[in-house]
Structure 1
Amino acid sequence: MPNTYASRMGTVHRSFIREILKVTADPSIISFAGGLPNPRMFPVEAMKEAAVSVLGTSGPASLQYSTTEGDPVLREFIAGRYSKTKNLSVTPDDLIVTTGSQQCLDLVGKVFLNKGDKVVIESPGYLGAIQSFSLFEPEFVAVPLESDGPDLQRLEEAFADGAKVFYAVPNFQNPSGLSYSLEKRRAVAKLLDKYGVLFVEDDPYGELRFKGEHLPTVHSLQKKPGILLGSFSKIAAPGFRIGWLVASGERRDKLIIAKQAADLHTSTVTQAVMREYVLNNDVEEHIRHICEVYGSHRDVMVAMIDEYFPDTVETTRPDGGMFLWVTLPKGCSSMELFDKAIERKVAFVPGKPFYTDGGGENTLRLNFSNAEPDRIEEGIKRLAESIREFVR
């Protein structure tokens, strides 16, 4: 029987995290594995009111086909928040509403990547981007992350070697929780302008800062900005699958064409409900509440790690976002540790899948947003027992 699959499918694998989540479906397992917002933070009643209002006042229109660019009022709201919260000049015409920010990655791949193009990615890097870009068969060039951002020497070497795209998450990166310093942001922007590399800046976690000061986007520091991605998934409701991208000129036009070919437009009714929600509720106060809750969860996890983990284990201490990163002593396999941890009914994500260049055997990711403090305390105790048994 002939092989009917496209060759590109041989380079793409199932999402490792999605496979782990099947294991953690057991309610007795304390899971730090999923990159999930806490459902307590979902504005259920406000969304219910918004949905009733939309269907009651403009039901037929909200259920009809719509424009590819997205709801104009919603785009105006997003552009206004960029101006108000980030001092970034974005017009509604610079925005395309997408089906989650994951679709942004797919559209970028379709528009900009040919087989063999060099894509620079952080090491460790976001698994969703690795999976999405892999469909277009690029050559990944991994640049190590330091505590304040990418290794600039390695980054410039990658740019000078013909990189076409640089994808990064400068704020509370997934999976590491690390953020770029202001100095690194300026240096990265300078290198991007020097070499003309297209920067795809993913910012799903930037709003979730609970310590320190907000820093400017790299996008705003470039003379010739690239593409900036955003999402309502972490600040409102991930199930609505509403994200967006910021691009201008011919780039935006090409991305619109790609989206038309992909899905015509993002769901009209979910955009309308989100529009109604953001226009009639205090979104800033809602975000502040999320940050307060997630900050407390982060503090509990860090405190428990300090108390129970061996001194030979290192962890990041993020000032925002949803994750922290754990590095075990050299020679330890987090894949093997995972099996031991599951025996104690606690789960995490091993770090190896986040690396495109090998490595990461002794690393793992912990999510603190979706477990309540008492579960965090018990889960870290169980994980610490597994680690202490494992690293002897």
Structure 2
Amino acid sequence: MTESPGRGHDHDGLQILTFPHSAEVSMHAPLPRLSQRSGGTTRSPVRDLLALTENPDVISFAGGLPAPELFDLDGLRRSFDAALAEPGGLQYSTSEGNPVLREFIADRYTAQGLPTTRDEILITTGSQQALSLLALSLLDPGDVVLVERPSYLAALQAFTMAGARIVSVPMAADGIDLDALNVLAEQHRPKLMYTVPTFQNPTGGSLGRSTRDGLTGLAARHGFRVIEDEPYRELRYSGDPLPYLAALTNEHVITVGSFSKVLAPGLRLGWIRTRADLHSAVVVTKQSADLHTSTVDQAAAAHYLTAGGLETALDRIRAAYGERRDAMLAALPQTLPAGSTWSTPHGGMFVWATLPTGHDSTRRLTSAIEQSVAYVPGAPFYAERPDASTMRLSFTTYEPATIREGMSRLERSFAQP
């Protein structure tokens, strides 16, 4: 039986009610539900699969992980020592970021054919934060964002969290299907188009020059912005460089970059190349998110880069990753079931494979893990109508001999019923 409340007096003699413990518990109201935004966003299977890398027996082609043995530990240690030589390296900083670092990024853009000033650069906590800041700054709930089919999973998460409606654009041999894009832009009046134009995640493909021209032309015609996400651009092993989309139509394109793939992902350093019409809005959104990116990490990166460390790092990384890409591509014909197809990327970190009709890469993953090898099923990279036969393989983490062993294990997994 539930006890009735008793009566007592506080220290001023006022009468108060006292409730027994059982009654107190029974009167608790249920807690509010989580937000609709958080409930509508699924966990990243890529992040979950990274736990496999903690098991040294598993060869994981799942995560887009740079090779740790290629990090310049000595050079970065010296740069962190320099950053910590003054107490300012541990102080609050401006939201826009370290001016020396921003100047370096701007000068590199300019040297690559995209004239840029320091004031156009905003440093972010990795390029993932850059996407989140842009989504929150540019999108209202219900706004349409066009994405490639398939597309980068964490970008889909960022746009979903902002309440956007995501519409996929089919891909053609040279990248985006421009005819389909034109029709979809007419139908949906998008605010944004998101693309990874160079060595795309997950497919490894790149937009050809004519497709870049066509995409920027359609952005101008229909009045939508384009976010070009370029974390892999510096990782080219063959072929000729292609222009930035912003170099073709600066007014409509916002460019995002990152040092995660060329220095170290643990630094969490990315940036946005903004424009005057949106710079202030993005800075305010950044201030509300975290005030500013790590001061000491920015200062260390600025010291390392201005001392010439990037070119040496890139030479080392490109040589190693090119060999690893070649090792994976050479093993694929005997690894995957007959009738499979795959991309042949000129750079980046990924090969995208499509299994024959009737194969489901998600169901096959269990057999692969039993053989101590892992990959990422392709379905989560689709905003709609996933292709269950697709899969993503990363080739950067291991040396060629380990890649060949991992591919042998994967071949054995496909031999299982």
Alignment of 1:258-297 (within 5 A): 258-297=285-324
1:174 to 191, 201, 213: 201
Q: Tell me how far 1:83 sits from its aligned partner.
A: 1.4
Deviations 1:68-94 (A, max 9, x none): 10011111111111112x211010000
Q: Tell me how far 1:210 sits from its aligned partner.
A: 0.5
The answer to whether 1:236 aligns with 2:271 is: no
Could you say what secondary structure the match of 1:142 adopts?
strand
Could you say what secondary structure the match of 2:385 adopts?
coil
Structure 1 contact 309–388 (Cα < 8 Å) conserved:
no
The answer to whether 1:33 aligns with 2:33 is: no
- How far apart in 2 are the matches of 1:67 and 1:308? 51
Alignment of 1:46-125 (within 5 A): 46-56=75-85, 58=86, 60-84=87-111, 86-125=112-151
- What one-letter code is carried by the residue in structure 1 that aligns with 2:393? L
- What one-letter code is carried by the residue in structure 1 that aligns with 2:255? L
Could you say what secondary structure the match of 2:270 adopts?
strand
- How far apart in 1 are the matches of 2:265 and 2:151? 21
Alignment of 1:122-133 (within 5 A): 122-133=148-159
- What one-letter code is carried by the residue in structure 2 that aligns with 1:108? L
- How far apart in 2 are the matches of 1:144 and 1:40? 38
- How far apart in 2 are the matches of 1:215 and 1:198? 20
2:160 to 126, 129, 134: 134
- What one-letter code is carried by the residue in structure 2 that aligns with 1:26? N
Structure 2 contact 97–122 (Cα < 8 Å) conserved:
yes
Structure 1 contact 193–223 (Cα < 8 Å) conserved:
no
- How far apart in 2 are the matches of 1:147 and 1:36? 27
Give the structure 1 partner of residue 183 of structure 2.
Answer: 157
The answer to whether 1:10 aligns with 2:39 is: yes
1:193 to 203, 220, 225: 220
Q: Tell me how far 1:355 sits from its aligned partner.
A: 0.4
Structure 1 contact 175–323 (Cα < 8 Å) conserved:
yes
Give the structure 2 partner of residue 250 of structure 1.
Answer: 277
Say which is worse superposed, 367-376 or 307-316, in terms of deviation: 307-316
Give the structure 1 partner of residue 174 of structure 2.
Answer: 148
- How far apart in 2 are the matches of 1:204 and 1:44? 21
- How far apart in 1 are the matches of 2:264 and 2:183? 40
- How far apart in 1 are the matches of 2:316 and 2:174? 27
Identity %: 41
Give the structure 1 partner of residue 210 of structure 2.
Answer: 183
- How far apart in 1 are the matches of 2:301 and 2:312? 16
Q: Tell me how far 1:24 sits from its aligned partner.
A: 4.2
Kindly tell me: are residues 138 and 300 of structure 1, through their superposed partners in 2, closer, same or farther at Cα, counting changes over 3 Å? same
- What one-letter code is carried by the residue in structure 2 that aligns with 1:257? V
- How far apart in 2 are the matches of 1:328 and 1:299? 20
Q: Tell me how far 1:10 sits from its aligned partner.
A: 1.4
Gaps of 5+ in 1: none
Could you say what secondary structure the match of 1:155 adopts?
helix
- How far apart in 2 are the matches of 1:377 and 1:286? 25
- How far apart in 2 are the matches of 1:320 and 1:388? 30
Deviations 1:310-340 (A, max 9, x none): 3311110100000010100112110111011
- How far apart in 1 are the matches of 2:81 and 2:31? 52
Q: Tell me how far 1:282 sits from its aligned partner.
A: 3.7
- How far apart in 1 are the matches of 2:250 and 2:45? 38
Structure 1 contact 229–246 (Cα < 8 Å) conserved:
yes
- How far apart in 2 are the matches of 1:146 and 1:41? 35
Give the structure 2 partner of residue 353 of structure 1.
Answer: 380
RMSD: 1.2
- How far apart in 2 are the matches of 1:321 and 1:160? 33
Structure 2 contact 75–309 (Cα < 8 Å) conserved:
no
Could you say what secondary structure the match of 1:167 adopts?
strand
Kindly tell me: are residues 23 and 282 of structure 1, through their superposed partners in 2, closer, same or farther at Cα, counting changes over 3 Å? closer
- What one-letter code is carried by the residue in structure 1 that aligns with 2:74? E
Aligned residues: 387
Deviations 1:322-377 (A, max 9, x none): 00101001121101110111111110000000001122200000000012211100
Q: Tell me how far 1:288 sits from its aligned partner.
A: 2.0
- How far apart in 1 are the matches of 2:274 and 2:76? 29
- How far apart in 2 are the matches of 1:265 and 1:313? 46
- How far apart in 2 are the matches of 1:384 and 1:67? 52
Could you say what secondary structure the match of 1:224 adopts?
helix
Structure 1 contact 147–178 (Cα < 8 Å) conserved:
no
Give the structure 1 partner of residue 393 of structure 2.
Answer: 366
- How far apart in 1 are the matches of 2:52 and 2:74? 31
- What one-letter code is carried by the residue in structure 2 that aligns with 1:106? S
Deviations 1:101-158 (A, max 9, x none): 0001110111111111111011110001011111112111001222321111111112
- How far apart in 2 are the matches of 1:133 and 1:29? 33
Structure 1 contact 24–347 (Cα < 8 Å) conserved:
no
- What one-letter code is carried by the residue in structure 2 that aligns with 1:237? A
- How far apart in 1 are the matches of 2:300 and 2:153? 30
Larger radius of gyration, structure 1 or 2?
2
- How far apart in 1 are the matches of 2:134 and 2:250? 21
Q: Tell me how far 1:293 sits from its aligned partner.
A: 0.7
- How far apart in 1 are the matches of 2:291 and 2:205? 36
Structure 1 contact 354–360 (Cα < 8 Å) conserved:
no
Give the structure 2 partner of residue 324 of structure 1.
Answer: 351
Could you say what secondary structure the match of 2:287 adopts?
helix
Give the structure 1 partner of residue 4 of structure 2.
Answer: none
- What one-letter code is carried by the residue in structure 2 that aligns with 1:316? S
